[in-house]
Chain A
Amino acid sequence: MLDVLIVDDSAAIRKILQRVLRQAEIPIGAVYEASDGVEGLEMLKKQTVGLILSDINMPNMDGLEFLTKVRAEQAWKSLPIVMVSTEGTHAKVLEAVERGASGYVRKPFTAEQIKEKLAGLF
Chain B
Amino acid sequence: MTPQIDVKDGISQPELVTAIEGATNEVFSTMLNLPLVAGSVFLEKEEKTPASGVLSLIGLAGAWVGTGSLSCSASLACKIASHLLMAKYDAVSEDVLDSVAEVTNMIIGNVKTHLENRLGGMGLSTPTVIYGRNFQTRGTKNREWTVVPFDCEGERLCVQVCIVPNTDADAKAIRSGFPVPHVLNV
Residues of A participating in the B interface, judged by any CB pair closer than 8 Å:
9-13, 15-16, 19, 56-59, 61-62, 64-65, 85-89, 91-92, 107-110
Binds A, one of B26-34, B45-53, B133-141, B148-156: B26-34
Q: Is the CB of B124 within 8 A of A57?
A: yes
Q: Which residue of A lies closest to B105 (CB)?
A: A86
- Contact-residue bracket for chain B: 20 to 34
Chain A residues in 8 Å Cβ range of B121 = 91
CB distance from B186 to the nearest CB of A (A): 8
Contacting residue for A89 out of B31, B94, B101, B117, CB 8 A: B117
CB distance from A64 to the nearest CB of B (A): 6
Instruction: Give the dominant DSSP class at B's interface.
Output: helix
B102, CB-defined interface residue at 8 Å: yes
**A10-B98, A87-B183, A89-B116 are contacts. A15–B105 as well, Cβ < 8 Å?**
no
**A12-B95, A57-B124 are contacts. A108–B183 as well, Cβ < 8 Å?**
no
Residues of B participating in the A interface, judged by any CB pair closer than 8 Å:
26-27, 30-31, 81, 84-86, 94-95, 98-99, 101-102, 105-106, 109-110, 112-113, 116-117, 121, 124, 126, 179, 181-183
Q: Is the CB of A108 within 8 A of B179?
A: no
Give the distance in Å from the alpha carbon of A77 to the alpha carbon of B50 in the complex: 54
Q: Is the CB of A62 within 8 A of B105?
A: no
Known contacts A10-B102, A108-B30, A109-B30, then 11 further A-B pairs from the complex at CB < 8 Å, ordered by chain A residue: A10-B101, A12-B85, A12-B99, A61-B182, A62-B181, A62-B182, A86-B113, A87-B183, A88-B110, A91-B121, A107-B110
